[in-house]
Amino acid sequence: MGHDNHLGIDGWVADLVREAPDLAPLTAKILWHCNHSDDTDALLASVLPDIAKAIGGDYLAVAVAKGGRWTILSDSGRPRSLPVDLLAEVLDRDEARRQNNWLAAPLDMRSAVPRLLVAYCGAGRLSDESLAVIQRLVPLCCDALAAVANRHRHDEEQTRRIGRLQAILEITQRWNQNQQMESLLEEMARAATRLLGADRASIFLWDRPNRTLIGRPALGVEDDELRIPDNKGVVGKVVQTGLPLRVDADNTNDDSDQIDRQVDEKLGYQTKTLLCVPLRGSSGELFGAFEILNKHSGSFTAEDEAALVELASHAAVALQNTQDREKLFSVNRQISEQAAQGAQLIGQSPAIQTLRSITQRVAETDLAVLILGENGTGKEVVAKLIHYLSRRRDKPFIAVNCAAIPDTLAESELFGHEKGAFTDAIESRPGKFELAADGTLLLDEIGDLSLGGQANLLRVLEEKVLVRVGGSVPIHTDVRVVAATNQNLAEMVRQKRFREDLYFRLNVVTIELPPLCGRTEDIMLLAEYFLKDFCMKARRQVPKFSAAARRRLETHPWPGNVRELRNLMERLAYLSTENRIEAEQLAFILSPGNHKPLVADVNRPLSEATAQFQEEYIKQTVEQVGGNISQAAARLGLHRSNLYRKMRQLCMTIPV
């Protein structure tokens, strides 16, 4: 197993990901340590334990022959006597060998003092698979050691290449976990734009029978899908020739006229720079193209082209491994809604800054979290943020709306059922706890779960074991549960509507989200963030708010909180036509014509009119917060007991 025909890190990584995708996480870790280790000793100390674990070994060491004796440079555990005969044979043959409970492989035979990788496995644990794993990893380890040893001599291009390889490996790992074709294509587009600093990207799949190229994602197009003839534009030329193509429309060249300006006009978009490479399957067949548009600075370079070619090769593998690949060429195929944007807490108010700090600290633990807040304040966003900041980020995030589950199906939805467990159970089905295995399960609207469902939930949370409905096999679960509600659970406990023991089990850490009206300084930040996002999807220029419009937004009470603001920005992005938004454009949306006046009859004594105003104002405030008296009192600037007193004085019905 000599290394005379040295492929370099790029070659070994590409081979490893294609031939042994299970080793991708370990490969990424080796590259990470390669990029962050100060010397080869530190690199070996970091990666040897993980390699030993990958091959099922008890001991792994790097040995070198000095002065006729073998010396251990670095190892992963208790020192052992080395098999001298085996090491001598490996040194002579320059290939990996296995003997009894030992195996050894040449690590770097080009150096003046050759090094060997030596592994020991317990009785009965040594296998051909262990030898195969070592043979796959040795070239990468060899190049990683060389990279660290020559770090200071590496030029800027090599540093970028290592960083790019690490990014591609991390991206590929996420792709391999994604089984949904729609979201996979969108992930690929986002990864390409992020990696190459460009505006947009699309993956075009070739429908050969219909001589059509189908591009996804295609923002601003119906069904998020763009269809063009396979002999038209730059993408058509790439699939016809099978060669990459770079175009800079600002310069005069033979390819600049290949840009399809009709598509630009249809999308309301101007293509200035373009890079397109072919997508080839594992056997070399061409089945599409990967296109990226408008680099943020300058034109696309040969290095960008090489990076996209490499990314496209991994994209092709991920696409072919997806079970739904055959559906890509179906005429009736449609893309589901665009994947949700990454969880973010937009705002600079003290409340949001505190929320960010608490969320980050909580995410690093496995503590149960209870998220409280009005409807639309972003409880699910916070739950996602906790998940993606945690060590479970690579595991599933599953959200369940408890209010939408019928009482009779709650146990089946959460814990699954076996075939024949009830009338409609025609097949076995895992529940949400199993689907969220080792990840995070959000139980939204937990206050609407029935008392029976609460009892079953408490048992699973306490024992970490569930049994499917109609089954008898216990299933271990290690799910982190995050609960959310807009109700006052403490009050529900007092009213015997929520189990006290479950309340304390869920309420280890409480995060209370402030209503939007309580953080006025964040309203414009959120409005501009949502408007920019929707305008990008609508392929239009982002309009500006007038001073009057800003004041109108900041003074609106926002009963629907952030969700209401987001929906408003979506309507403005798609329905407004001007480049400036005035207060008049917001008046109808924020104050619809059927708004009921607080005082209907002006021909009344002042005392009666005042009482009517107070009654109607309190009633509308209570309705806006969903009947939560504590929140209504806070909005009115009153203590809860004072609000109750005022309502009794006005002979108002007090919510139970």
Supply the CATH number for residue 460's domain.
3.40.50.300
Q: What was the pLDDT predicted at 172? A: 67
Q: For 226, phi and psi rounded to 5 degrees? A: -110, 130
2 inside domain: no
Q: Which residues contact 23 (CB under 8 A, 6 or more apart)?
A: 16, 54, 133, 136, 137
pLDDT tier at 545 (50, 70, 90 boundaries)? very high
Regarding whether 393 and 272 lie in a shared domain, the answer is: no
Q: Is residue 342 part of a domain?
A: no
Sign of CA dihedral 60, 65, 68, 71: negative
Residue 260 backbone class (left: φ over 0; alpha: ψ -120 to 50; beta: rest): beta
pLDDT at 565: 92
Angstrom distance (rounded) from CA 351 to CA 523: 13
- Residue 302 is which amino acid? A
Give domain status of residue 372, yes or no.
yes
Q: Which of 293, 328, 363 is the last residue of a domain?
A: 328
- Summarised one tens digit per residue, pLDDT across range 165-207 is 777 777 766 666 555 667 777 888 888 888 888 888 888 888 8
Same domain, 355 and 212: no
Q: Using CB atoms within 10 A of its CB, is residue 264 exposed (0-12), middle (13-18) or buried (19+)?
A: middle
Rg (CA), the chain: 31
Residues paired with 75 in a beta bridge: 61
Distance CA 28, CA 50 (A): 12
How far is it, in rounded angstroms, from Cα 41 to Cα 86? Answer: 24
Please determine, for residue 607, whether its predicted confidence score (pLDDT) is greater than 90: no
Same domain (yes/no): 616, 567? no
Same domain assignment for residues 586 and 622: no
Q: Quote the pTM value.
A: 0.43
Q: How far apart are CA 80 and CA 102, in angstroms?
A: 11
Domain count of the fold of the chain: 5
Residue 109's pLDDT band (cuts 50, 70, 90): low
Is the separation of the CB atoms in 331 and 239 below 8 Å? no
- Tens of pLDDT, residue by residue over 270-317, are 888 899 999 887 778 888 899 988 898 888 888 888 888 888 888 777
Predicted confidence (pLDDT) per residue in 20-55, tens digit: 777 888 888 888 888 888 777 788 888 888 888 888
Q: Are residues 615 and 642 in the same domain?
A: yes
Tell me how far apart the alpha carbons of residues 22 and 45 are, in angstroms, rounded to a whole number.
22
Same domain, 480 and 375: yes
Q: Is the pLDDT of residue 263 over 60?
A: yes
Are 85 and 70 in contact, with CB atoms under 8 Å apart? no
Taking Cα atoms as reference points, which of 293, 297, 287 lies closest to residue 308?
A: 293
Alpha-carbon span 213 to 186, nearest angstrom? 17
15 domain residue, yes or no: yes
Task: Kindly state whether residue 254 falls inside one of the protein's structural domains.
Answer: yes
In which domain, by residue range, is 531 found? 516-590
Please state, in angstroms and rounded to a whole number, the distance separating the CA atoms of residues 237 and 246. Answer: 11
* Domain match, 361 and 308 both: no
Are residue 152 and residue 247 in the same domain, yes or no?
no
- Same domain? For 495 and 525 the reply is no
Residue 306 sits in a domain whose CATH number is 3.30.450.40
Kind and range of the H or E run holding 227: strand 226-229
Q: Which two tokens stand for residue 377?
A: 């304040």
Are 107 and 115 in contact, with CB atoms under 8 Å apart? Answer: yes
Which of 219-233, 543-557, 573-587, 629-643 is least confident? 219-233
CA distance linking residue 418 with residue 396, whole number of Å: 22
Q: Which of the four pLDDT bands, split at 50, 70 and 90, describes residue 5?
A: very low
Residues 228 and 303 in one domain: yes
Question: ω before 139 within 30° of 0 (cis)?
Answer: no
| Tokens (6 digits) for 412 | 């089946």
Of the listed ranges 14-28, 54-68, 94-108, the one predicted with least confidence: 14-28
